[in-house]
Structure 1
Amino acid sequence: MAEAHQAVAFQFTITPEGIDLQLSYQALNQIYLSGVRSWKKRVSRLRNRVIKGVYPASPSSWLFVVIGILATMYMRSDPSMGLITKIQQHLPLSLHVSLSAQGQTMLSALLFSTLLWLSLILALRFCLKLLLSYHQWMFEQHGRVSNTTKIWVTLLRLLSSRKPLLYSYQTSLPHLPVPPIKDTLSRYLKSARPLLTDTGYERMTDLANQFESNLGNRLQRYLKLKALWATNYVSDWWEEYIYLRSRGPIMVNSNYYGMDFLYVTPTPVQAARAGNTITALLLYRRKVSREELKPSRVPGTVIPLCAAQCERMFNTTRTPGIETDVLQHWQDSEFVAVYHKGRFFRLWVYWAGRLLSPREIEHQIQRILDDPSLPQPGEEKLGALTAGDRVPWCQMRKQHFSSGINKRSLDSIERAAFFVTLDDEDQGMRGEDPVGNLDRYAKSLLHGKCYDRWFDKSFSIVIYKNGKSGLNAEHSWADAPTVAHLWEYTLATDAFQLGYTEDGHCKGDVDRSLPMPQRLAWDIPSEVQAQVCSSLAVAQALADDVDCHVFPFREFGKGRIKKLRVSPDALIQIGLQLAYYRDRGGFCLTYEASMTRLFREGRTETVRSCSNESCDFVKALEGGEAGDQCRRLFRLASERHQNLYRMAMTGAGIDRHLFCLYVVSKYLGVDSPFLKEVLSEPWRLSTSQTPVQQMELFDLKNNPDFISLGGGFGPVADDGYGVSYIIVGEDMINFHVSSKHSCSETDSHRFGAQISKALQDIMTVLSADTKTSSSSKGSAQPQSKKLL
């Protein structure tokens, strides 16, 4: 109702005595305070722009340079070697007239000092960029650090000694290099070998050789030209062609979810959980806006990761188009959009220039929960438009949501900081069927009822009737680690910092003069209602086909794995290969997501986890070979997997390079049988690890029940599995498995059981001889903790 207050801030009537003005000082005060908040944010952004613009130096260093230059001049020395005199000679004539000779000299010295200072900043930034381009440290064996790497670490620490802002490193991060085409093709053929027959491998080798000698080098030249011009030669095409140009539903196919604590629900009061969760998210947004978050780094090191994905975290929505969607981002938003029982609301979260307290937001949410009004015609299932195919949604949006009350209401959703669903169901691991309830909880977060989420928003928060929470995130603007960082902060702030009273309510007081949340108004014609039904049918069929299974693996965790000197991620990935082999009787093309955020605007790269080495180990174990032989093969497979992961992180991956070559070929209008075949291969096993990035927020020793469930995603292939996992603490790994009911060969529960058995069998093999297992190399990240 804030705009209503502003609309009646002043009224006037014409009387026989003249014009009678009636001012609403309360409303004018709200306008004034809102303006003050806006100007404070502008000043803060300008200050941050200056600070990060001169990093790794500081703005105050300019003063030291000026003092140093003036001091040397005072001592009758010219540190500029005549440049100050040259600058003085070229000053405008008006300054020669208005300033004395000494004043002209001082001004020239200031100009020279500023130029010298800027030159030093550019030199420092160039040095930092060179240092961040060095990646050999990742490939060095544990305990055998080269002198080059030791010197590199020292220099990097010196240049990173100042406390950086969130985006301070952005201009110093190196650009993603374009790998030599010969290397990429060689790595591809090696990755494809275990999946092909001898005849098939020979045919693919011939195709690769023909591609390299004919079309490949031509496409490579164009790609190198783009790499010289663009900040990142992959990311813009990846965002557009993989995500935004998809015309099918983004629900299940693209969006992913994050879950609440496994064992704990901080409060059973729905409005209170919403109050703390919304507050925590807005506090995180404030940190992002002020750049107060520490830059993400490679765990245990001082090496920064690109923070560009944080820029569109809030106030962002994906709008549909005929050929491609568009990501729209607004600088700020003072409200969130809320959905409850078929009705949409706009909830203002700022009042009198301040953020509402958690207790006040709870009060506002409770007003929505208590609102007895019914949905308007066509309103209840309107969100299904975002869950179905993109083209019909685009057509409806252009025809019926481009003006009038529909546009105003749609703007309130799309411009909101984020979307909140107050679900009318209970979820979580509860009752007599905890396993089934966890699966239903995952499905609810992935797609809900197909109309009670707004899948176009950058992320939507779901607060269930029993206080359980979760989120659904749109994928095009960022990858899971960025959202996981946000969700970790939200859960920890909610439970450990904001907290609740003894009766489960938020802390703080309530300003009773707060305006009511604004109910959004709609005028939904029959044509839109018909399309809503069509989109809902498409989305419902997709949702019904998803088979989700979530299970905590408690037999062992990171602690026991690392005692054997084994990479936890490598062990899990090899375990997935063993589980798939047992489940389907063979191997498949396997996708593991790796990040390329060591480079500016980096996103992801594919680790092809199914290797010759992992297949050899699986065959040996299933063939009943001796334990020593199995352990030797496992070590080879583990080392191979770690090397593949490192190469993917450092820009020497396979799939993004081939993808970009394919895009260039399409722009040139030429066909490549090799690229067409490679990019059409199905990923029947798609996997991803959800990283735990802020363990300092969770005190698992004193609060062992506050364990995160992580999150998951839908299956990528119709006849495949999607597997997400999170390594929590030292003794647990949580798995999320998805597949499709329509495929008779897949079953998420069966595959989950195979994963558990495979991990236990591998641990039995490795534990049989601690001497051989201790010689295994640690993963890149544990190595870095020792190194940096």
Structure 2
Amino acid sequence: MIFKGMLDRQEIIPDSSRSARWQRHWILDSLYGITRVPRKPHDHLNIPKRTSRHAIILARGHIYSLDILAPDHSPLPAKQIEANLWSIVNHVTLHPAAIPIGSLTGLDRDRWTDAREHLLSLDSTVNRDSLSVIEDGLFALCLDDSTRPAGLQGHIRTASTNYDGHNRWFDKSFSFIVENNSRASVLGEHSPCDALIAAIITDFVLAEGVGPGLCDPTVKAASHDSENLGWKKLEWVTDQRISQFIQDSKSTVEAISKDSDCDLLIFDKYGTDYIKRSVRHSPDAYIQMAIQLAWFRQVGTVVSTYETGLTRLFKHGRTETIRTLSSKSYAWVKAMDSEEDCHLIYNLFIQAISAHNSYTKKASLGRAFDRHFLGLRLQHRPPEDGTLPELFTDPVFAESSEWQLSTSGISAGERFIGTGFGCFGRGYGINYLVAPSRITFGIETKHSDPRTSASQFSEHLSQALIDIRILCERATGKRPYSSPSPDSMRSEFSKL
């Protein structure tokens, strides 16, 4: 909430690119409190009232509203928030688990719309008021009464869903998830903003650390008898049909969770320092070429590849598609395991890097074409507009937009220990965090796809990064590079 206060006071300095143009942070204003609400034929985003000053707390199926801002919208004292959280926890322990209404958000959007409309028909006052409080909440805090697997792979696979989707409200723009052993993660809803935005806020929270009064052993829970607790339990009127909707959602989410094949690759042999200082290439293009090589070695062919490109130079700009696969990248991956001279292979690598950098620049300036085609297709309204133009029904066009490699980088990389997102039914979803001495990859695919394996792709990706380094050093004649330790880096920087 300190970050939100700084944002409201316009104290957050926008990012700037290497071209010195300001990149707009307007979307940060829209992150807090945004909720995706199901409707037919399409959902809408609920924008909360400016007076909203509460968060949503979920625990054992119960849902609470907790004030975190004072009436003047300044953050409440940490001790007061902590005392009220303890009071909520005590309330949960004194009552049996509640019907997990939040599980409904795990249904497909049409069925969730039906369930929501039925919920409102049962008691338009109680249920509507509870939904309104949730949808206006600044964010969600999910307190899980469980501990997931110790390994990060198991944690990443189950943290977002809690196995079957209970104790979640998937439609909130972002949710903090805390296990009963204090391990935490962040879950985002992609419609209102992109992952980088939630990462900016989370990185700020981690950088600020724990302030005075937080986790204070002397803090006691607020009295249950107090007339002004600062929190309120949300009530619901349900029936057997709602219970069936919830059961259906749990089954669906559990099946999705079980089918998810995740792996976390923490590549610590080098990071962006090596790529920028010794090889002198764009870290993002370098990493994208490693992903191309890993796929080629595992599958034996190339495939259309999506990378998120930012268009934040423009007001209301979000993203554009960077198409990583090119004739240059294809020529290079074919040559990498050939008997060709290393200098020739290195030149092909440089050409692939240059092609990627060029496309990235075009995308950031709004000069790519995928969002344009998407807009045209979405504007088409059958039957009044007739059949779709031939372009959109062409099999080649469809294949070129089937992203079996869906990738995205997040700039923040030092304070996060993991990352990831679910992928298209075939292929991989790859999210990566870059840091001076390491690169972290969250890799997700499906057990149901016999061609893919997250652990095998992780091995191919790690080897690709090693082989690219060897190629660069052999071709340029530079000595082998080992990533410096944090102590040696500090010593080096102190000499500057």
Please indicate the TM-score interval, normalised by the length of the shorter structure: 0.7 to 0.9
Q: Residue 39 of structure 2 aligns with which residue?
A: 321
Structure 2 residue 457 is matched with structure 1 residue 751: yes
Deviations 1:435-470 (A, max 9, x none): xx1012212333223121100111111112122211
Q: Residue 417 of structure 1 aligns with which residue?
A: 138
Q: Residue 171 of structure 1 aligns with which residue?
A: none
Partners of 1:440 and 1:375 lie apart in 2 by 28
Structure 2 residue 125 is matched with structure 1 residue 404: yes
Partners of 2:33 and 2:240 lie apart in 1 by 30
Partners of 2:216 and 2:117 lie apart in 1 by 43
Structure 2 unaligned regions, length at least 5:
480-496
Partners of 2:270 and 2:478 lie apart in 1 by 20
Q: Residue 341 of structure 1 aligns with which residue?
A: 60
**Equivalent in 94, 97, 105 of residue 386 of structure 1:** 105
Structure 2 residue 77 is matched with structure 1 residue 357: yes
Q: Residue 484 of structure 1 aligns with which residue?
A: 199
Contact 2:203–2:415 (8 Å) recurs in 1 = no
Structure 2 residue 417 is matched with structure 1 residue 709: yes
**Equivalent in 721, 728, 734 of residue 440 of structure 2:** 734
**Shift of residue 715, structure 1, vs aligned partner:** 0.9
Structure 2 residue 163 is matched with structure 1 residue 452: no
**Equivalent in 725, 746, 771 of residue 432 of structure 2:** 725
Q: Residue 288 of structure 1 aligns with which residue?
A: 7
**Shift of residue 351, structure 1, vs aligned partner:** 5.0
Seen in structure 2, the aligned counterparts of structure 1 residues 635 and 350 have a Cα distance that, compared at 3 Å, is closer
Structure 2 residue 86 is matched with structure 1 residue 366: yes
Deviations 1:460-517 (A, max 9, x none): 111121222111111111112211111111211234xx2678xx53899998766163
Q: Secondary structure at the match of 1:413?
A: helix
Deviations 1:376-400 (A, max 9, x none): 7xx4322111011112221222232
Seen in structure 2, the aligned counterparts of structure 1 residues 589 and 409 have a Cα distance that, compared at 3 Å, is same
Deviations 1:159-179 (A, max 9, x none): xxxxxxxxxxxxxxxxxxxxx
Q: Residue 482 of structure 2 aligns with which residue?
A: none
When structure 1 is superposed on structure 2, of 398-407 and 529-538 the one drifting more is: 398-407
Seen in structure 2, the aligned counterparts of structure 1 residues 507 and 758 have a Cα distance that, compared at 3 Å, is farther
Q: Secondary structure at the match of 2:156?
A: helix
Contact 1:362–1:506 (8 Å) recurs in 2 = no
**Shift of residue 374, structure 1, vs aligned partner:** 2.8
Higher share of residues assigned helix:
1
Q: Residue 560 of structure 1 aligns with which residue?
A: 274
Partners of 2:363 and 2:212 lie apart in 1 by 41
Partners of 1:350 and 1:742 lie apart in 2 by 46
Partners of 2:71 and 2:213 lie apart in 1 by 25
Seen in structure 2, the aligned counterparts of structure 1 residues 332 and 442 have a Cα distance that, compared at 3 Å, is farther
Q: Residue 215 of structure 1 aligns with which residue?
A: none
Q: Residue 537 of structure 1 aligns with which residue?
A: 251
**Shift of residue 626, structure 1, vs aligned partner:** 1.6
**Equivalent in 296, 309, 314 of residue 599 of structure 1:** 314
Partners of 2:375 and 2:206 lie apart in 1 by 38
Partners of 1:661 and 1:519 lie apart in 2 by 45
Partners of 2:79 and 2:379 lie apart in 1 by 54
**Shift of residue 301, structure 1, vs aligned partner:** 5.7
Partners of 1:405 and 1:532 lie apart in 2 by 19
1:568-579 superposed matches below 5 A:
568-579=283-294
1:23-172 superposed matches below 5 A:
none
- Structure number with greater Rg is 1
**Shift of residue 772, structure 1, vs aligned partner:** 8.8
Structure 2 residue 380 is matched with structure 1 residue 674: no
Contact 1:342–1:375 (8 Å) recurs in 2 = no
Partners of 2:66 and 2:372 lie apart in 1 by 45
Q: Secondary structure at the match of 1:713?
A: coil
Partners of 1:285 and 1:577 lie apart in 2 by 39
**Equivalent in 13, 22, 25 of residue 304 of structure 1:** 22
Partners of 2:314 and 2:398 lie apart in 1 by 24
Partners of 2:460 and 2:218 lie apart in 1 by 46
Q: Residue 232 of structure 2 aligns with which residue?
A: 518
Seen in structure 2, the aligned counterparts of structure 1 residues 533 and 670 have a Cα distance that, compared at 3 Å, is same
Contact 2:56–2:66 (8 Å) recurs in 1 = yes
Contact 1:659–1:679 (8 Å) recurs in 2 = no
Q: Secondary structure at the match of 2:190?
A: coil
Q: Residue 660 of structure 1 aligns with which residue?
A: 375
Seen in structure 2, the aligned counterparts of structure 1 residues 482 and 521 have a Cα distance that, compared at 3 Å, is same
**Shift of residue 322, structure 1, vs aligned partner:** 2.0
**Shift of residue 750, structure 1, vs aligned partner:** 0.8
Partners of 1:661 and 1:516 lie apart in 2 by 48
Structure 1 unaligned regions, length at least 5:
1-281, 431-436, 696-705, 774-788
**Shift of residue 319, structure 1, vs aligned partner:** 0.9
**Shift of residue 352, structure 1, vs aligned partner:** 6.7
Q: Residue 362 of structure 2 aligns with which residue?
A: 647
Seen in structure 2, the aligned counterparts of structure 1 residues 478 and 352 have a Cα distance that, compared at 3 Å, is closer
Contact 1:359–1:510 (8 Å) recurs in 2 = no
Partners of 2:472 and 2:71 lie apart in 1 by 63
Deviations 1:85-125 (A, max 9, x none): xxxxxxxxxxxxxxxxxxxxxxxxxxxxxxxxxxxxxxxxx
Q: Secondary structure at the match of 1:401?
A: helix
Contact 2:87–2:221 (8 Å) recurs in 1 = no
Partners of 2:120 and 2:386 lie apart in 1 by 37
Equivalent position amino acid for 2:143 in 1:
L
Partners of 2:31 and 2:44 lie apart in 1 by 15
**Shift of residue 732, structure 1, vs aligned partner:** 0.5
Q: Residue 411 of structure 2 aligns with which residue?
A: 691
Seen in structure 2, the aligned counterparts of structure 1 residues 600 and 374 have a Cα distance that, compared at 3 Å, is same
When structure 1 is superposed on structure 2, of 474-483 and 404-413 the one drifting more is: 404-413
When structure 1 is superposed on structure 2, of 669-678 and 527-536 the one drifting more is: 669-678
Contact 2:78–2:212 (8 Å) recurs in 1 = no
Equivalent position amino acid for 1:720 in 2:
G
Q: Secondary structure at the match of 1:669?
A: coil
When structure 1 is superposed on structure 2, of 564-573 and 661-670 the one drifting more is: 661-670
Structure 2 residue 462 is matched with structure 1 residue 761: no
Contact 1:343–1:374 (8 Å) recurs in 2 = no
CA RMSD after TM alignment:
2.4
TM-score between the two structures when normalised by the length of structure 1: 0.56
Q: Secondary structure at the match of 1:634?
A: helix
Seen in structure 2, the aligned counterparts of structure 1 residues 538 and 508 have a Cα distance that, compared at 3 Å, is closer
Deviations 1:17-61 (A, max 9, x none): xxxxxxxxxxxxxxxxxxxxxxxxxxxxxxxxxxxxxxxxxxxxx
Q: Residue 269 of structure 1 aligns with which residue?
A: none
Contact 1:359–1:506 (8 Å) recurs in 2 = no
